[in-house]
Structures are given as structure tokens and as C-alpha cells.
Chain A
Amino acid sequence: MIRTAPASQDGLTIVPHATCTFCGCVCDDIELHAQGDRIVRAKSACSLGESWFKYHTAERNYPDALIDGQPATVDAAVERAAEYLHAAHMPLIYGLSNVTCEAQRGAVSLAELIGAVIDSHTSL
């Protein structure tokens, strides 16, 4: 049986069958060992995948949001973003390759709402 629930012992959380999204292989057989706010081991991942997992931590290294380069709250930044996108005649939504399908779906709805062009890395 495939055990998917994270097991925890001595502050070490083990997540079996985790998925690596670094390259298009999307390997789903990785065993992640997390300690505190970082991943300390990525069993079965290749060296690219392992460094990707270790590079992203859950530390608070950056301000929640920036408006004109100044730290701001998420709500204020969301409001400002909405103002810009709403005021624009020809807004663009770009990127989408490093986010989940759920976020992509949201982005398409937003594009429809504001009358935007929506585009990804595929067009490069």
C-alpha cells in the first residue's frame, strides 16, 4: 500500500511519494525529509532536483509584499495590483510555468475579468 501521510519523528518530517517540479519529468517518487523550515534530504531525486528542494526553504527571508520598493502588507499590495490591472487598457498576464494548475486557472479567470492577454513560456 502506498503510504502518503507524512510521518514525523524527532522533529524530522518524512514525506513519501513527493513530487519534484524542477523539470518536465515531474518525478513523483521522492522521499522528502524536512527538519524545521528546510528540506534536509530528497531521496531518489537527481542532483538538480535535490538542490531545488534544498534551495527553497520556509524561512521568512523576504517582506510579505513590496509597493514601489517599500515593505507593505499583502492586502495593500493586492489592492494596488487590482487598481493597476483594472485601470489598464491592455493588461498582460505572463509566466505561469512555475505555479500550480489551480493558480493558472485563477490567472485565466482574472485575464477574462480584466480583458488581458495571457501568455506563458511556451511563446518564447
Chain B
Amino acid sequence: MGGKVSATLGEIKNRADFIMYWGGNPAECHPRHFTRYTLIPKGKFLPNGRKDRTMVLVDIRETASARAADQFLQIRPGKDFELITALRAVVKGLPVDDALVAQTGITTETLHDLARQMKQCRFGVIFFGMGLSMTRGKHMNSAAILTLATELNAFTKFVTLPMRGHGNVTGSDMVMRWNTGYPFGVNLSRGYPRFNPGEYSTIDLLVRGDTDATLVLGADPGATMPQPAIEHLARTPTIVLDPKVTHTSKLARVHITTAATGVSAPGTVYRMDEVPMPLRPALKSPYPTDEEVVLKIIEAVNRKAPFAPRAESMMRTV
């Protein structure tokens, strides 16, 4: 995510005295987030750990994480964008309509109090989860929260971080970004990268039936995607690389078993704050790693006629 005001978890551990989680449930989904990075640890500038920090949780329902919070704000489902926008206005000292604020499930007094806390802290952080980025408004919500944090920097230091789930999903954003310039859904069919979410996103491609072969790496769309997408995967040649025979493997033409990342396959994985970590596998797998298999497929494709003219064939030697 380019352009966001962010920090590493180490910086947050040592500096953040105001911590907000929006639409996420770290107590159950990221169990050691509180104890290792945010709430509990004693930091360089927070010698008393938890006592020096304030934590606010915003969500549509009271999850297990609410017990760890100093303040829990229950908002109406689908009203995230409205609440963020009202908060941005209050932070800037602009008037807001009480009736409109009331629709979000939060009173204007609470909103003013929240804005005051955010402006008065020394170092604030907003972690936002899928409860924000996957509900009504989607990426507009993420953009709004990033803007809120950016604007708060007029008063104090403020950063935002998305609560990324799944193992190395951050890594795939990073690797695609430094290779193609875009983080996901990159179309290379013209020989140069094109990016258009909604057009080149997997679900849309599969539901429309645009693709005619799929390589699935460390995912199980056969278990999670909508039915028309699964049917298209079964209709066209699908290749799966996975440590297990998955639902997708069963409808695929080719499955190759690979070593499990981090358990028996070495390499690098990105943490949610975009810090790369080396893996230290404890077991030796009888199977090859994903990397080895991908490189073998590249070699096998390279033995065939090129799909587009290769650079060497276009160069003239004088």
C-alpha cells in the first residue's frame, strides 16, 4: 500500500500510547499481537507497558478483544465510512450534524471525546481489519482511515497498519510490487504489467470464464470461492502446488505435493508491517519446495516456443 503513513511493530511497541483497532479481532485472529507488539510490552518510552497505553476498539459486535480495550465503540454495520468522515471533520474542528452522527451508533459527545484523545496522544496507531476493508465501502473505507491518520499528523504522530491475515500475504504484495509495480491482480498478457482490480481479480476472471488455465499456489479456491468460479476451475486445466491434496487438487488436472512453508521449507516471509523474516524449518520434507517446482515449470516452459518474441531474438549484433 503505497503512500500510507506507517511504522514497524517495533516502533509501535516502543512509542505508541494510543492504540486503536478498527474492525478486527486480534484476541482471536492474531493472538500474540497484544502481548508481543502493542498493548502489553514495556517500551522505551512507555516504561509501564499496559498502564501507559490507551486502547480503543471499534467494531460492530463485542468480540473477545473488547475485554482488552479501555473503550469499546459499537458501531452500526456498514457505517464505518460515515463514522471515519465525521471523525475527520471533528478532528479538524468542523461542525457535524448530530443526526447524521447518531446513525453510526455513536453519540456526538463520544466522537468529540475520541477526537480529543487522538489529538492529545504522543504516538497513535490505527490497526484496521477485514471488518473495515471487507464491508460496505471496501477500499474506500481503507482510503478514509489512511487519510484520517495522515491528517492527524497535523496534531501529533499517527500511523496506520492493516491487520493482514494469512501467513505471507504481505510478502506477495511486496514481491509483486517490486517486480511489476502493482501489488496484486496484475495482467502480464501483453508483455507489460496492467492493473485493474475488479477486471483482473481472480474471482471476476473465473466467474466471467476469461481464463483457460490456472496455477494455484498455496491456496484452496475450490473450498472458498463462489460456485461459478469453482466450476470454471474444474472446466479448464488447473494445476495445484500444495503440501496437501486439497479440494482444488481434486478438481485439478495436475497436483504436485510440496514441502510446508516454515515447517519444512526455508525462505523469507513478510510480517504485517512489511518487515521480512527468515524461516527456520525444523523438519526435512520428502517433497520439493514450491520454489523448486516453480523453477522446474519455468525450465519446462522455456524449452517450448516463446509466447512473445524474447529480447535476445530482437537484438541485432553488429
Contacts and interface: CB of A to CB of B under 8 A. Distances in A.
Given A25-B37, A63-B257, A120-B176, A101 B212 contact: no
What band does the interface of chain B fall in when counting residues whose beta carbon is under 8 Å from A?
A: 35 or more
Nearest to A20: B262
Contacts of A74: 256, 288, 293, 296
Contacts, number: 339
A38 B296 CA distance: 28
Contacts of B185: 117, 119, 122-123
Interface residues of A, number: 90
B256 A46 contact: no
B169 A100 contact: no
B14 interface: no
Given A32-B282, A103-B290, A113-B307, A89 B168 contact: no
Nearest to A34: B282
Contacts of A6: 282
B172 A90 contact: no
A56 B243 contact: yes
B12 to A, nearest CB: 12
Given A107-B294, A119-B184, A123-B203, A101 B215 contact: no
Interface string B204-237: 0110001111111111010000000000000001
B219 A94 contact: yes
Contact of A92 (B214, B253, B282, B303): B214
Q: What's the dominant secondary structure at chain A's contact region?
A: mixed
A112 B249 CA distance: 24
Interface stretch (B27-35, B81-89, B113-121, B152-160): B27-35
Interface string A56-96: 11101111111111000011011111101111111111111
Give 6 closest A-B pairs by Cβ, nearest first: A100-B267, A95-B219, A98-B218, A82-B300, A88-B213, A24-B272
26 contacts: A15-B282, A18-B279, A18-B281, A19-B262, A21-B168, A21-B269, A24-B165, A24-B166, A26-B270, A62-B257, A78-B256, A78-B293, A82-B297, A82-B301, A85-B301, A92-B215, A94-B216, A96-B218, A97-B172, A99-B168, A99-B241, A99-B290, A102-B291, A104-B176, A106-B290, A122-B184
